[in-house]
Chains A and B, each alone.
Chain A
Amino acid sequence: MKRSYSLKNTGTVMSFLLPSFIGFSIFVFAPMIMAVVLSFTNYSGGPKFRFVGFKNYVMAFSNPDFLSYLFVTFKFMLISVIFQIGLGLFFAILLSKQFRGCSTFRSIFYIPNILSSVAVGLAFMFIFEPSSGLINEFLAFIGLPTSKWLASEKSALNVIITIAIWQNFGYYMVLFIGGLQNISTTLYEAAEMDGANKFKQFIHVTIPGLSPILFYGITIAIIRGFQVFDYIYIMTGGQQGGGPAGSTNVLAFDIYLNAFTYFRFGYASAESVVLMLIILFVTYIQNRGQKRWVSYDVV
Chain B
Amino acid sequence: MMSYNLKKRRMHVIKLIFLSIVAIVVLLPLIIVLSSSFKNESEIFDFPFHLIPRKTILGNFEQLIDTFPIYIFNSVKLTVTIVLVQLVTAATGAYAFSKLTWKGRDFIFGLYLASMMIPMQAVMIPQFIIIRNINLYDSHGALVLLGAFTAFGTFLIRQFFMSIPNTYSEAARIDGAREWTIFLKLLLPMSKAVLVTQIIFSFRFFWNDFFTPLIYITSPELKTLPLGMTDFVREQYVYWGPQMAAALISIIPVLIIFLFGQKYFIQGVSSSGLKG
Contacts and interface: CB of A to CB of B under 8 A. Distances in A.
Interface of A: 9-10, 12-13, 15-17, 19-21, 23-24, 26-32, 34-35, 38, 91, 94-95, 99, 101, 105-112, 114-120, 122-127, 129, 132-134, 137-138, 141, 166, 170-171, 174-175, 178-179, 212-213, 215-217, 219, 223, 226-227, 229-230, 233-234, 238-239, 251-252, 255-256, 259-260, 265, 268-269, 272-273, 275-276, 279-280, 283
Interface in B217-276: 226, 229-230, 232-234, 240, 243-244, 246-248, 250-251, 254-255, 258, 262, 265-266, 269-270, 272-273, 275-276
A34 B126 CA distance: 6
B1 interface: no
A233 B212 CA distance: 13
Contacts of B22: 91, 109
A24 B275 CA distance: 21
A216 B229 contact: no
B32 A127 contact: yes
A175 B269 contact: yes
A112 B88 CA distance: 29
A20 to B, nearest CB: 4
Given A20-B149, A108-B26, A178-B269, A116 B126 contact: no
A216 B230 CA distance: 33
Contacts of A99: 12
Interface in B103-123: 108, 111-112, 115, 117-123
Contacts, number: 263
Interface string B172-214: 0000001110010000000000000000000010011011001
User: Interface residues of B: mostly helix, strand, loop or mixed?
Assistant: helix
Contacts of B233: 122, 234, 238
B99 to A, nearest CB: 9
Contact of B19 (A35, A105, A134, A217): A105
B7 to A, nearest CB: 14
Given A124-B29, A178-B270, 19 more contacts: A9-B102, A16-B95, A19-B89, A26-B130, A29-B111, A32-B118, A35-B123, A91-B22, A107-B258, A108-B23, A115-B208, A116-B207, A119-B229, A123-B30, A126-B244, A132-B47, A134-B49, A226-B119, A269-B126
Contacts of B180: 12, 15
A248 B115 CA distance: 28
B145 A94 contact: no
12 contacts: A15-B92, A31-B124, A107-B262, A109-B26, A112-B26, A115-B251, A116-B210, A126-B32, A137-B47, A219-B276, A252-B121, A275-B119
Most chain B CB inside 10 Å of its own CB: which residue of A24, A107, A133, A137: A24
B244 A175 contact: no
Nearest 9 pairs between A and B by C-beta? A216-B276, A23-B149, A31-B126, A20-B93, A116-B208, A178-B270, A34-B126, A137-B47, A16-B96
Contacts of A212: 276
B214 A20 contact: no
B128 interface: yes
Residue picked from A23, A94, A216, most chain B C-beta under 10 Å: A23
B165 interface: no
B187 to A, nearest CB: 11
A122 B246 contact: yes
Contacts of A116: 207-208, 210, 226, 250-251, 254
B265 A110 contact: yes
B90 interface: yes
A23 B145 contact: yes
Given A99-B12, A109-B23, A178-B270, A276 B149 contact: no
Contact of A94 (B19, B33, B90): B19
B169 interface: no
